Amino acid sequence: LLSSTTPVQEMLKAGKRLGLPSVMALSLGMMIRYLFLFAGMYAQIHYALVGRNFNPFNKSLPYTYRLKTLGYAMGVLFLRAYEQGERTFTAMLCRGYGNHILDHMQKKPLTRIDQIVLCILGVIMPAMTAAIFFLQG
């Protein structure tokens, strides 16, 4: 219940206040952030295997062949994840990454101009969508 109602950044800050090491908090934050990216990478590999008509549960294929193919697929996933991590870390270093990164991530209240722009967009965008829909139909 806590994880579904509390933003990740707030839980990481609370963990730091309770004594969680900064390195672990940063690692958890990055893991959660990139979990969906790795799921997408796995989906690409899975679709490639399906496109080649590979089914790991097919009993007509030799067991060693199935294990070898799945091992190669997991190896590719690991290499892609490692390379993505290297690129991300390099980009973060270029932008001033450090152990103090969680201290600077705070919510800012919306200014009056932000509220006006959001209200205008909330009215204009649906009106434009409706106009396009009715003009096409």
Instruction: Find where tokens 């490692």 sit.
Output: 82
Model confidence at 1, in pLDDT bands (50, 70, 90)? Answer: low
Distance CA 79, CA 42 (A): 12
Per-residue model confidence (pLDDT) at position 100: 63
Could you state, in order of their start, the residue ranges of all structural domains in the chain?
Answer: 2-106, 109-137
- Measured in Å, how far apart are the chain's first and last C-alpha atoms? 45
DSSP string, 47-84: HHHHHTT--TT-TTS-HHHHHHHHHHHHHHHHHHHHHH
Per-residue model confidence (pLDDT) at position 88: 83
Predicted TM-score (pTM) of the model is 0.52
Per-residue model confidence (pLDDT) at position 124: 83
Q: What is the DSSP letter of 103?
A: G
- Exposed/middle/buried for residue 12 (C-beta within 10 Å: 0-12, 13-18, 19+): buried
Q: Assess whether pLDDT exceeds 70 at residue 4.
A: yes
Segment 5-58, tens digit of pLDDT = 888 888 888 888 888 887 788 778 888 888 888 888 889 988 998 898 888 888
Report the mean per-residue pLDDT for the chain.
82
Segment 74-92, tens digit of pLDDT = 888 888 888 888 888 788 8
Model confidence at 126, in pLDDT bands (50, 70, 90)? Answer: confident
